[in-house]
Structures are given as structure tokens and as C-alpha cells.
A = this chain, B = another copy of it.
Amino acid sequence: MVAFHCIQALRFPSRTHVSFPIGDYNRDSVIMKKQRGHLVFASADKKSDKELYLQSKVETLLDSIKWDEKGLAVGIAQNIDTGAILMQGFVNSDALATTISSQKATFYSRSRSALWTKGETSKNFINVHDIFLDCDRDSIIYLGKPDGPTCHTGSETCYYTSALDFLENKQVEGTKLASTTLYSLENTITQRNAKLALPQTGKPSWTKRLLLDHDLLCSKIREEADELCRTLEENEDNTRTVSEMGDVLYHAMVLMAVKGVKLEEVLEVLRKRFFQSGIEEKRSRSRGQAN
């Protein structure tokens, strides 16, 4: 059960947009006190009205979930930057209250009949930034940032078994996660980069040529950026914009592979720049230009 601390942390940080603002909260304590017909808070300072209001909002939220006959709903943890589905578990009312309180993705372990905060053993917590409910109110997304690999096997996510690969009897190098397009492309480029030193017969692929020839790579990035701009300047068809943006992304991702930079790092920077500061376009550039 959640320890009932002073609920001071229920105050919202004024400049936080994405990070989850709810602090220590205990559902049972509230229910217990409600049953006595009144609500008493640990600290009865000036903010108690606001805190009382927030407490009741959390109550309302928990009561709005369509818990199944076992008091559970499906809980899915998703990486806020990459969109990767990290793991799926089940959530009961206490688990959701604890997640709201601790901002760490917490589930109900059906095998152990106990709350389980992902990371309590491994320290690879999932830091929850927002929680989404589905239209039926029986499925919950914890949108968060993992501290490290989520799976107990050490894999980044728990979904590393492809039915397609199994059915095709395909041998896959390393772990193939359930990756969406951008990360499949990143993975392809990274693998190509890792094999640069291996002997090869036949004509090298375009990616390999770019990885080996940095002058070519940079000239292509500049050229593709120029072509993207020209789709606007010369009022070209939208399909040209789509295609040129694809070219910009691909070539820039080859450069990232050369530098050993991951897309997730870029997205984390964008998130902090645009959302976590609470000021939408706080700084679009880090070199000091006014935005």
C-alpha cells in the first residue's frame, strides 16, 4: 500500500507541461476518511481546498475506469520519445493511484497478488509523463521514459519475438524489436555501419557508400535540404515534399549513425526543448538566437 504522506506534492509545478504533476496520494486513506463522513488532510494549510479538489479529481478518475471482475484493466507502457511499446501488464486501482503518486509505472502482479513497480528491483523505472485511457475506459497507456531496458531479459522492450520471422524461419541478427518504420530504418543503417569493415563482393549499397564517404554524405544532406526547400519555394506538388523530406531524414540518419547518435536522443532533446519547459518554443536553437 502507498504510504500516506503530506499531500503537499499534489500542487502542480507551474511550468511543467508534460511531466506528470501528481504527488503522494493514497486512495484508501481518502476512502477511509470519506466513510467517516468528512475528509481530513495531513496539512491543513492554505492549499487544502485546492488539494481537496485535486484529491477528489483523482478519485473520480479512478472510479471512471471500467475495472474487470478482478478489478483489473490492461496497462501498456509506451516510450514517450520513440513510441516503442515497452511492456504490458495489468493495473488495479491501487496500481494506478501509485503511478499517479510516484510517477513510476506500477502494475498489479497477478502471479504475486501484489503491486509491482517496474524497476523496483532492476532500478530501470519507467518515468510516467502522462496517462491515457481508451474510449472504453478499460485500457490504460503509461506514456513514459524508461531509465534502462524494460524487459527482465535485458532487452529494450518485451516484444522481441517476431511471428513473421518465426514463420519464415528467419535467422535474425541480434534482437529485432517490434520497431516502427523510423527505428527499423535506424536499425538497418546501424547494422550496415557495423559491417563496414567486413569484406564485400559486388557493388556497395548507397548506404555503405554514404557511410564510407563523408564528403558525399554531407553534400547529399545539403542537396536534399535544398530540394526540400525548393518544394515550397517553387510550389511543387506535396508528393515532392513527402519524398524530399524522406530523403532528408534518411541521409541525416546515416550521418547520425556515423556519429553514433540515436534518434531517441534527438527526440528527447526536442521534448525538453518544446514541452518540458512549459514554453512551447523556448529555444529552437541552442546557440542563443532569440526565438
Q: Which residues of A contact B (CB under 8 A)?
A: 12, 18, 20-22, 54, 57-58, 61, 74, 76, 78-85, 87-88, 100, 130-137, 139, 141, 143, 151-153, 155, 158-164, 166-169, 177-178, 180-182, 184-185, 188, 205-207, 214, 217-218, 221-222, 224-226, 228-229, 231-233, 238, 241-243, 245-252, 255-256, 258-261, 265-271, 273-275, 280-281, 284-286, 290-291
Contact = CB atoms under 8 A, between A and B. Distances in A.
Contact of A284 (B22, B206, B233): B206
A207 B80 CA distance: 23
A245 B224 CA distance: 14
B135 A167 contact: no
A243 B218 contact: no
A228 B251 CA distance: 11
Contact of A81 (B164, B180, B258): B180
Nearest to A260: B238
A283 B290 CA distance: 39
Contacts of A259: 231-232, 238, 241
A67 to B, nearest CB: 14
B249 A225 contact: no
